Structure 1
Amino acid sequence: MITMKGIRIKLQQDMVNYKKPNSFQLKETYPLPPYSTIIGMVHELCGFKEYNDMRISVVGKYNSKVNDLYTRYEFSNGIKYENGRHQLKAGEYGISRGISTVELLVDVELIIHIIPVDQSLVEKIEKAFLFPIEYPSLGRREDIAIINEVKVVDIIEDKIKKTVRMNEDYSAYIPIEELEKIKFKNREEGVSISGTRYKINKNYELVNLGTLNKPKIIRRWNKIDVIYGGNISALGDEILTMDEDGNVLFAI
């Protein structure tokens, strides 16, 4: 049995967009916040200047989806300002301003577990959520998170004796390697996995694709292969990760 400490956060949001990286005309949203978005929020609230590795588990639900309009700005360094073509001018360059569409989740509830690799950071992260230096947001800058619970919990990895049924209202990101430890209640006949497959960003490293004299630095993301699904049961006789209150985690 492996035991460590983690921070469990329960929060809610009214309307939120967890943007998919490659969606532009319609700014689509993931059904749950990506690991990278949660890690970014933790680092911002804690004031971390360097990356601190941590395992993240997220489950949650939303009531519905709606589309909304937002102001979109487009510009290119190579296009000079032209009266009648551009709405804004920045130096000698032109910026186009128009309307586009964003997809929003409504009435979001999340349960997030944060397990820092450096266990000495547990208390610092707890205090950062209990007494935030500014309002917490998750998703866009304006997507305020209302925090309902912050609790330090024991995280236990052990073999369980019987199947554990998770809250049927909640869905989760389940890493592909964890699928053999669970079953989906609502799967179709002949289909063992019921859900949507995503590659979710977690963290990145800076990579130079140029030369020493002319560097071209990009972010190379570590993407986690997951299934997003609900109506989940964790199977008995499997090694699972749970907190002290019996909540099943899919921490990565």
Structure 2
Amino acid sequence: MKGIRIEAYQNLVNYRKPTSFQLKESYPLPPYSTVIGMVHAACGFTSYVPMQVSIQGKYHSKVNDLWTRYEFAGSTFEEGRHQLKVELTEGKAHGITRGVSTTELLVDVELVLHIVPEDESYIPIIVDALKSPVEYLSLGRREDLLQINVVKEVEIVEEFTDSDTGVLYDIYLPQHLTNDEKIYRKLGTTYRLNKVYEQLEISKGKKIRQWQKVNVFHVPASETNQLYANDIHMDTDGYVLFLA
């Protein structure tokens, strides 16, 4: 099986957890939906191209940054309560509250991503788009620039190892790929990550996104953590990967 390996760097980045608001918390690595969205944006795809993704990487530290939050609920403007006034017709006005919130940022992020499209004819298209993007690439927020250092087409093989393999990077391990979940529950954190969505009509003219979720273990990099003997995938340069 053929795929693409991307080695990239980001200076400051937030992979926002969708349930965090006052403090915009970050996942330790980008979720599948974020990586897939970046690839589709780079290639200009207007519909979903089925693909599998492996995500691993590491960061140096975390910092918190401030951002301006605007809140509005269609309420009438009140002096002293609202900071901004939106004029409407007939002399009416809505009020907007402006405040300060916090964003969690990961510092000096190194990423190793593997992209395996279902149709291998897309591989050269994706490689060319990542090597020569029409505009700057981002991963996370729009301002989180993605510096791509390596884009390489690789051969991916399934390999059985009878020796313990150390975890060189933090890595997302899909739960269905391991037969010993208890080990990884001790080592890392369980996440339920978005991958792809479909439009679900809930009423006439109203649709919501229904996400396909992937249950993963976030296994941190450590010489003492082991990817225990199992059927695993490796690329031609020896990078371990887990596809979802």
Aligned-pair CA distance for 1:229:
1.2
Q: Does 1:81 align with 2:71?
A: no
Match of 1:49 among 46, 65, 68: 46
CA contact under 8 A between 1:183 and 1:235: conserved in structure 2? no
2:190·2:218 contact (CA, 8 Å) conserved in 1? Answer: yes
8 Å contact kept, 1:182–1:235:
no
Alignment of 1:91-170 (within 5 A): 91-92=87-88, 93-157=94-158, 159-163=159-163, 165-168=165-168, 170=169
Moved more, 99-108 or 171-180: 171-180
Q: Deviations along 1:61-94, whole A, 9 cap, x unmatched?
A: 1111111101111122x32333443333445333
**Matched residues in 2 for 1:235 and 1:102: separation?**
36
1:67 maps to 2:59: no
Asked if the contact 2:25/2:104 (under 8 Å) is kept, the reply is yes
Answer yes or no: is 1:193 the counterpart of 2:183: no
CA distance in 2, matches of 1:136, 1:29: 19
Measure how far apart 1:53 and its partner are: 1.1
Matched, 1:221 2:211: yes
Measure the CA separation in 1 of the matches of 2:175 and 2:53: 15
Specify the code of the residue in structure 2 equivalent to 1:73.
Y
For residues 89 and 22 of structure 1, what CA distance do their matches in structure 2 show? 29
**Residue 183 to residue 208, structure 1, CA distance change in 2 (3 Å):** closer
Q: How far apart, CA to CA, are the structure 1 residues paired with 2:181 and 2:150?
A: 27
Q: CA deviation at 1:162?
A: 2.9
Give the Cα–Cα distance (whole angstroms) in 2 for the partners of residues 19 and 91 of structure 1. 33
Instruction: Determine the C-alpha separation between the residues in 1 that align with 2:227 and 2:121.
Output: 30
Cα separation, 2, equivalents of 1:129 and 1:183: 38
Q: CA deviation at 1:246?
A: 1.4
Range with greater deviation from structure 2 (142-151 or 79-88) = 79-88
Q: Distance in 1 between matches of 2:36 and 2:58?
A: 20
Q: Is the 8 A contact 1:182 1:233 kept in 2?
A: no
CA distance in 2 between counterparts of 1:54 and 1:18 reads: 21
- Tell me: CA distance 1:163–1:79, structure 2 relative to 1, closer, same or farther (3 Å): same
Deviations 1:22-78 (A, max 9, x none): 1001000000000000011001110000011110101111111111101111122x3
Give the letter for the 1:179 counterpart.
T
The amino acid that maps onto 2:43 is: C
Identity %: 52
Structure 1 residues 162 and 183 mapped into 2: Cα distance closer, same or farther (>3 Å)? farther
Kindly indicate whether residue 159 of structure 2 is the aligned counterpart of residue 177 of structure 1: no
Deviations 1:159-203 (A, max 9, x none): 4243252443x111111112337996xx8xxxx731101101101
TM alignment of 1:4-43, pairs within 5 A: 4-43=1-40
How many residue pairs are counted as aligned between the two chains? 236
Q: Which residue of 2 aligns with 1:249?
A: 241
Deviation of the 1:8 alpha carbon: 0.5
In structure 2, do the counterparts of structure 1 residues 156 and 163 end up closer, same or farther at CA, with 3 Å as the change threshold?
Answer: same
